[in-house]
Amino acid sequence: MKTSNIKTLFFGLLLITLSVLPRNAQCRIGETLEECKTRYGKPVEIKKDTALFLKNGISVSVHFASGKVDQISYYKTDPKDSKKTISPSDAEVNILLQANAQDSQWKMEVSYRNHTMWWNKERGLSALRSPQELVISIHDPIAYKANQERKAAERNLEGF
């Protein structure tokens, strides 16, 4: 087999693997603790307004406000130093961003020295990736609430 064919095959298998595995580790903005548990089981730790989950090598730390997820941190243990964390891979970050954006788009605002910030104005979300983690949060509660109300109205009026 030629080197280019092996690289193509490897890249294809990698994309398939990355598109399947991280989906199990997607707690989404706006979900309840019970919905998060449905995604990946019993939390490793629960404190007052936070829960920590571990699924497929990704740690997911969720913060709740009024019973719903308003911030999520995704990170992995650094294979070189178990006391440090690292951000998910580029492919995993893209999948996690899209899972939280659903049918809206992220716009990259800033990328500087291994830090990247995105905005999703339609859903009122922001995301920040550092070398240690990816954090997605509600930055504009009014836009987020308006988006949720619009989605509920669409569901209620489906078929009209």
Band of the pLDDT at 24, cuts 50, 70, 90?
very low
Determine the straight-line distance between the first and last CA of the chain, rounded to whole angstroms: 56
Q: Which tens digit of pLDDT belongs to each residue from 49-81?
A: 999 999 899 999 999 998 999 999 999 999 999
Q: How far is CA 158 from the centre of its chain?
A: 28
Give the list of residues 6+ apart from residue 102 with CB closer than 8 angstroms, or none: 123
The answer to whether residues 139 and 124 touch, using CB atoms and an 8 Å cutoff, is: yes
pTM metric for this prediction: 0.75
